Structure formats: structure tokens, C-alpha cells
Amino acid sequence: MDPGETDPVATAVRELREETGYEGENARLLGKIWSNPAILSNKTFTVLIENCRLKHAVEFDHAEDLLTRLVPVAEIPKLVADEKIGHSLVVVALYYFDLWQRGMKNIK
């Protein structure tokens, strides 16, 4: 979140639009986790935004360089197992999503 922002859901909606050009609906918080409590004081938030559609050109901040790649949800476990997705905070976000799909994670 940028300085002054306090709502992780609103931030996620903005960042999705800026960094991918996509917009969606039903944005909601799935979970939050301490990023690395041994040395950091920040949290990472997982936000689900459904029915996303490409609507804008990307608006990268200075030094951002991203590539958006769409994959079917069913392929995600294999991408993690094959270490194609290896960032710990992304894996946590995918786990929150899995819990939500199974009805095991209450949305707050």
C-alpha cells in the first residue's frame, strides 16, 4: 500500500488496474499474514477479485516491470509443486484461495 492508504482491498483494486490493466468485481480480503515477523513489521494481504477483464493499459510505477500470464486455476497446484511459483508470500496467497474454495476460510 502507498503511504496514506489504509484499505488493502481498495489498494488491491487499484494495483490490479495499474499493474495488469484488469478490473473485476466482488473484491474482498481472503487473508493476511506477517511478511517476515523476525525482521519486518509489515503484513501481506490476500485479496480476491472475481470476473476480471482487461480494460486498461498498464500504468507501471518507476522500476516496475511485470508480465501478466493467465493460467487456469486447476494448473496452480502443479506450478507450485514444480517450483514454477516459488515466492513464499504468493504461495500463502494461493493457500488462502484454496481454503476459500473449500469453504474453510471465512472472509473478513
Tens digit of each residue's pLDDT (9 = 90 or more) over 60-80: 888 888 889 999 999 999 999
Alpha helices in the chain (DSSP H): 8-20, 76-81, 88-101
In a domain, 63, yes or no: yes
In a domain, 83, yes or no: yes
Give residue 84's domain range: 8-101
In a domain, 2, yes or no: no
In a domain, 82, yes or no: yes
**In one letter, which amino acid is 86?**
G
Prediction pTM value: 0.88
Q: What is the pLDDT of the chain when averaged over all its residues?
A: 93
> What is the CATH number for 65?
3.90.79.10
Number of domains in the chain: 1
Tens digit of each residue's pLDDT (9 = 90 or more) over 49-63: 999 999 998 888 888
In a domain, 107, yes or no: no
> Angle CA(22)–CA(83)–CA(73) in degrees, nearest 5?
40
